[in-house]
Amino acid sequence: MSPATDFPALNTPARNTKVMNRFDLTSRLVAKLRNEEAVIGGIGNTNFDLWAAGHRPQNFYMLGSMGMAFPIALGVAMAQPKRRVFALEGDGSLLMQLGCLSTIAMLKPKNLCMIVMDNGLYQITGGQPTPAAAVSDIVAIAIGSGLSESAWAADEEDFERLVEQSLSASGPTLIGVRIDDKPGVGATRRDPVQIRERFMLGLGVREAL
Amino acid sequence: MAAAAEPASQQPSDGKAWHDVVLQTLKRNDIRLVPYVPDRVLTTLIKNIHADPFFTTFPTAREEEAVGIVSGAWMGGMRGAMLMQTSGFATLANVLASLAIPYQIPLIMFVSERGTLGEFNYGQSLVCRTMRPVLDSLAMEHHTATRLDEFEFIVDRSIKQAITTQAPVALILSPLLTGGKVFEK
């Protein structure tokens, strides 16, 4: 046996994190938002489930631009430091843009919470495993990037507790959740200008006509 | 390797260098957020923007990231512009086509032009040739600044047009303006 096999694979049930469901977790998050917090949904299923959880004026839905959910959320958080900003990203999407974790760690926005929905799959393209699936730990990567307030949610209750903590945190937080391979429940209407204009109205940047 | 001096024709008569024009014009247009991926030619500009408390400026790991940040900030009511070099622009086709353009974000990009007028790295000269075809294929507004006497007009008008028409713009900083980067033994 080679020495490496003495170490358990990181992304296995041995990590003691329950496999949950994206739509259920997104609904639990949205139910906790009381102060017009902004929520940025990444491409595909993260924004489909955000839409399905009930549209809010402070929701932004991405179409394409894989990996941009955290950078967009960082920009919103910097522009509106008094508003809490949440970002929902898939593990495959985050792998496209791991460097943004260092940027966020450097800038330390007080009002940004990142949620990584990790099923180890490119679910929307046919469920192919990501290169990270069996070997990498997204939360360990975040901690290694300097985001010390990063944790795996053990189960739904733990997820809600971490969301509560993030709502009053004084620095950026990251919550990793292991999810199943279920597709998104809804589908966002793909109208980028409407999405942006509605979001800016919701953030108080635009005034209703 | 070093940033070369500006050509003699671009020596400022009123003491304003091209990078002073960028800094002052950003300020006048209330553009406070300036993420960048550095370039040798941009060194003085980046240093001066860091030194001015009006700006929030920082490096990003990739140019794409800076596009996301500026887009989010604009939707949140804060204006931004990003700085990069030619090879960085070459990484942006997807994010321009799927975020900045369709969502109508006034993304203001300054691109220090490598790959021409004395380039010493073949890869830079090749990637430079992709820049204007990408901009043109996306029908994006872009200008190549070569002269100091026109520069403030180009920068100021382009920023105002980007914001009022909600469309991205690329301002390409030619070695004719900046001196570029040259090989030194």
Q: Which of A106, A107, A205 sits opposite B77 (nearest CB)?
A: A205
Query: pLDDT tens for residues A101-122?
Result: 999 999 999 999 999 999 999 9
Mean pLDDT of all residues in A122-145:
95
Lowest mean pLDDT among A14-28, A56-70, B44-58, B83-97: A14-28
Q: Which residue has the higher pLDDT, B127 or A15?
A: B127
Other CB atoms closer than 10 Å to residue A168's CB: what's the count? 7
Asked if residues A133 and A11 have their Cβ atoms less than 8 Å apart, the reply is yes
Inform me whether the pLDDT recorded for A27 exceeds 80: yes
User: Could A102 and B104 be called an inter-chain contact, meaning their C-beta atoms sit closer than 8 Å?
Assistant: no
Mean pLDDT of all residues in A34-38:
98
B2-182: CATH topology is Rossmann fold (3.40.50)
Q: Which chain A residues are within 8 Å of B66, Cβ to Cβ? A: 71
Inform me whether the pLDDT recorded for A8 exceeds 50: no
Domains (range + CATH), chain A: 15-202 (3.40.50.970)
pLDDT at position A6 is 54
pLDDT at position B182 is 82
Q: Which residue has the higher pLDDT, B2 or B90?
A: B90
pLDDT at position B2 is 60
The mean of the pLDDT values for chain A is 93
Q: Is the CB of B58 inside 8 Å of chain A's CB atoms?
A: yes
As a whole-number percent, the residues of chain B with pLDDT over 70 amount to 92
Mean pLDDT of all residues in A124-151:
95
Q: Which chain A residues are within 8 Å of B163, Cβ to Cβ? A: none
Mean pLDDT of all residues in B167-171:
98
Q: Which residue has the higher pLDDT, B48 or B4?
A: B48
pLDDT at position B10 is 64
- Residue B9: which pLDDT band, with cuts at 50, 70 and 90? low
Helix, strand, or coil (residue B179): coil
Nearest CA in chain A to B104: A193
- Token readout for A179 is 């999810």
* Residue B62 DSSP label: S
Q: Which chain B residues are within 8 Å of A42, Cβ to Cβ? A: none
Please report the beta strands in B11-124, taking only residues with DSSP state E, as ranges in sequence order: 33-36, 56-59, 81-85, 108-112
Has this prediction a pTM greater than 0.90? yes
Q: Which chain B residues are within 8 Å of A83, Cβ to Cβ? A: 76
Query: pLDDT tens for residues A76-103?
Result: 999 999 999 999 999 999 999 999 999 9
User: Could B76 and A78 be called an inter-chain contact, meaning their C-beta atoms sit closer than 8 Å?
Assistant: yes
Q: What are A's interface residues with B at a Cβ cutoff of 8 A?
A: 38, 40, 60, 62-68, 70-80, 83, 97-100, 102-103, 106-107, 192-193, 195-196, 199-200, 203-205
Q: Tell me, what's the ipTM?
A: 0.94
Mean pLDDT of all residues in B148-176:
98
Q: Compute the count of residue pairs across chains A and B with CB atoms less than 8 Å apart.
A: 124
Mean pLDDT of all residues in A60-74:
97
pLDDT at position A16 is 78
Nearest CA in chain B to A198: B75
pLDDT at position A1 is 40
Query: pLDDT tens for residues B49-88?
Result: 999 999 999 999 999 999 999 999 999 999 999 999 999 9
Q: Which chain B residues are within 8 Å of A71, Cβ to Cβ? A: 60, 64-69, 72
User: Could A196 and B67 be called an inter-chain contact, meaning their C-beta atoms sit closer than 8 Å?
Assistant: no
Query: pLDDT tens for residues B11-38?
Result: 666 789 999 999 999 999 999 999 999 9
Nearest CA in chain B to A43: B98
- Token readout for B13 is 């008569």
User: Could B94 and A106 be called an inter-chain contact, meaning their C-beta atoms sit closer than 8 Å?
Assistant: no
Helix, strand, or coil (residue B86): helix
Inform me whether the pLDDT recorded for B170 exceeds 50: yes
CA A1 – CA B45 distance, rounded (Å): 56
Q: Where are the domains of chain B?
A: 2-182
Contacts (Cβ under 8 Å, ≥6 apart) of B97 = A64, B138
User: Could B99 and A40 be called an inter-chain contact, meaning their C-beta atoms sit closer than 8 Å?
Assistant: no
What does B106-138 look like in DSSP terms, one character per residue?
--EEEEE--SSSS---HHHHHHHHHHHHHHHHT
